[in-house]
Amino acid sequence: MTSAATPAPAPRGIEPLGVDVPATVPTHWYNLNADLPEPVPPHLHPGTREPLGPQDLAPLFPMALIMQEVSTERYVEIPQTVREIYAQWRPSPLVRAHRLERSLGTKAKIYYKYEGVSPTGSHKPNTAVAQAYYNAVEGITKLTTETGAGQWGASLAMACALIGITCEVWQVRASYDAKPYRRYQMEAYGSVCHPSPSDLTEAGRAMLAKDPETTGSLGMAISEAVEVAAQDPNAHYSLGSVLNHVMLHQSVIGQEVLAQLKAAGEEQADIVFGCAGGGSNLGGLAFPLIGQNLREGTTTRVVACEPAACPSLTQGEYRYDFGDVAGLTPLLKMHTLGHDFVPSAIHAGGLRYHGMSPMVSHAVELGLMSAIAIEQDDTFAAGLEFARAEGIVPAPESTHAIAGALDYVRTQARDGEVVVIGVSGNGVLDLVAYEAYL
């Protein structure tokens, strides 16, 4: 047994294996903060309302991620261990959707960037692996987190298993009850998953006392995960979206798109559609393209596609708000519906967040991207149309981007225009959500 005076050995998973990584796997993450014409407003301390310092975040995050959160460097090197894991599925394919084009009768060129090839079936491992790695390097042995549909929880569970640390997840009750397979996936990786709100935390008990029948929300689950992490010196909290360092890690998506479009002979994407909940998939897809617009004068348009049931960008206020219900997190300048907002139990559980990434919100405020809200019935109709043309059943979250793109192609697209759709994950574990539409 390890004595109290002797630190436990570092997990073997943080050491690189020394295997060759294809040159097509990105070597650096891209940071839009380096190219923005105006800086993103700083996060504020919830007590003092002053800008956060590194030590304010130290109880929850490793210093490497804190430095990435405030970095304005254009490129941040990806650790070799992380690149080796990325190489299991990166680069993800950029596919020309010829059959979809034919079914639509369009002369626009439609491409989709497919993140469903990752081991957990979504884009979430891009940041999960990085966060698990940096926490393990700092000596943390456990991560806590929240999850909506379960894609993030499963991805962090996988990352922790690969790196050699443990993971505890609070899943929004609506998804926990409706989508048990995500929970089984987390447990297969060795993690623990609880429905949120739960009776395991002070925050959860208070929420249940207020509304015993609540379907939960990401804001509630965040409160529980943060509370547990803050009480354990060996634990940190991990967030799958919203924060700047998450946007940074997801930039591998858009960097690959730029290289893949060039290889396909395209000068640029004319318009890009990405689903928007907390902002990680959208930012990862779009920020490298927006950066190219700012540096090189390209004219790619970006459209954020969010659920009409949780329309933070199209109907929320742009102001400082908490990231969770209990008010335990820093104050973030973002488009928000209010941190106590509880959305309806829509099937796209990964998009049920009251706020939007500060970086995405800032980009919208600067006119660097636009946003639309889409009704759930329209998203599933688009998802089925895509599946029957391209053979991939998309995640319910991804169907929002597909719906936005299909409407655009039918009504506005020009001949030869390059349309890119971010398909953030597959819907194999979400087929029950499609049942009502079959």
Residue 349's pLDDT band (boundaries 50, 70, 90)?
Answer: low
* Pick from 336, 310, 311, 309: nearest CA to 322: 336
Residues 6+ apart with CB under 8 A from 140: 62, 165, 234, 235, 236
Mean pLDDT (whole number) for 216-227: 89
Position 5 scores a pLDDT of 45
- As given in the structure block, the two tokens for residue 48 are 């003092």
Fold for 88-122+249-437, please state it. Rossmann fold (3.40.50)
Residue 301's pLDDT band (boundaries 50, 70, 90)?
Answer: very high
Domain boundaries of the chain, sorted by first residue = 88-122+249-437
What tens digit of pLDDT does each residue of 382-421 get? 999 999 999 999 999 999 999 999 999 999 999 999 999 9
What tens digit of pLDDT does each residue of 55-68 get? 999 999 999 999 99
Q: Is the pLDDT of residue 7 over 60?
A: no
Position 140 scores a pLDDT of 96
Residue 346's pLDDT band (boundaries 50, 70, 90)?
Answer: low
Q: Is the peptide bond before 7 cis (omega within 30 degrees of 0)?
A: no
Instruction: Return d(Cα 341, Cα 361) in angstroms, integer.
Output: 18
Planar angle of CA 424, 357, 213, nearest 5 degrees: 80
Position 432 scores a pLDDT of 85
Position 1 scores a pLDDT of 40
Mean pLDDT (whole number) for 414-432: 95
Instruction: Return d(Cα 262, Cα 273) in angstroms, integer.
Output: 19
What tens digit of pLDDT does each residue of 243-289 get? 999 999 999 999 999 999 999 999 999 999 999 999 999 999 999 99
